[in-house]
A and B are shown apart, each in its own frame.
Chain A
């Protein structure tokens, strides 16, 4: 049981490049989330998916898109990266019965 996994762990992009951050969970959770973590700002929700086939915007969705490929996988795409998107990105899934979110190890993204 791996929990929540994220790939890649580190990435460096140039301004304007695109990339997809991958997230998968093996806990059969319905809900999944993407957050970004910036110093002094805590975690801010980018997008979430209440269930397979649905996605909704969070606090800071501009510049991002998501895909809930199936129940296990929830990917985050940056179509044209900007330096303001330099951050650590966390994926999480929710054990609804216990109101607990489980987090992946994070992806550290630098946009030059």
Chain B
């Protein structure tokens, strides 16, 4: 079975500052990893994913995450955040084989202040 731990429940940050949202996972098999974002009163949207290949993956709005197999981590980073990045971010894991069930972390609430 897989599990996901998001190490910070809330991350406050000032606009234009860098941010890192931490995610660790556990699994006895190979995994796919995902970051989803949830804006207030909305459903979840896929931000980025790691399936295979390059361990550094990027989103269209400047976020990136790096898959680190030895540390079983998939931390999300952005070098300069905007007010509009205020949202809740969820890390999720799925076994690369077998059925498509996602296991979600508890979420990290990112609050960007002016």
Contact = CB atoms under 8 A, between A and B. Distances in A.
Partners in one complex: yes
Contacts of B94: 99
Contacts of A109: none
Secondary structure at the A interface, as helix, strand, loop or mixed, is: strand
27 contacts: A4-B43, A40-B106, A40-B107, A42-B6, A42-B90, A42-B105, A43-B90, A43-B102, A44-B104, A45-B102, A90-B43, A90-B44, A92-B44, A96-B100, A99-B32, A99-B94, A99-B100, A100-B46, A100-B49, A101-B100, A103-B43, A103-B45, A104-B43, A105-B42, A105-B43, A106-B42, A106-B43
B101 A40 contact: no
A101 B9 contact: no
A41 B90 CA distance: 11
Contact of A42 (B42, B101, B104): B104
Contacts of A94: 100
Interface in B83-114: 90, 94, 99-102, 104-107
A40 B44 CA distance: 16
Interface of B: 4, 6, 9, 32, 36, 42-46, 49, 51, 90, 94, 99-102, 104-107
A53 B46 CA distance: 27
Q: Which 9 A-B pairs have the closest CB atoms?
A: A103-B43, A42-B104, A43-B104, A103-B44, A42-B106, A105-B43, A100-B46, A42-B107, A94-B100
Nearest to B96: A99
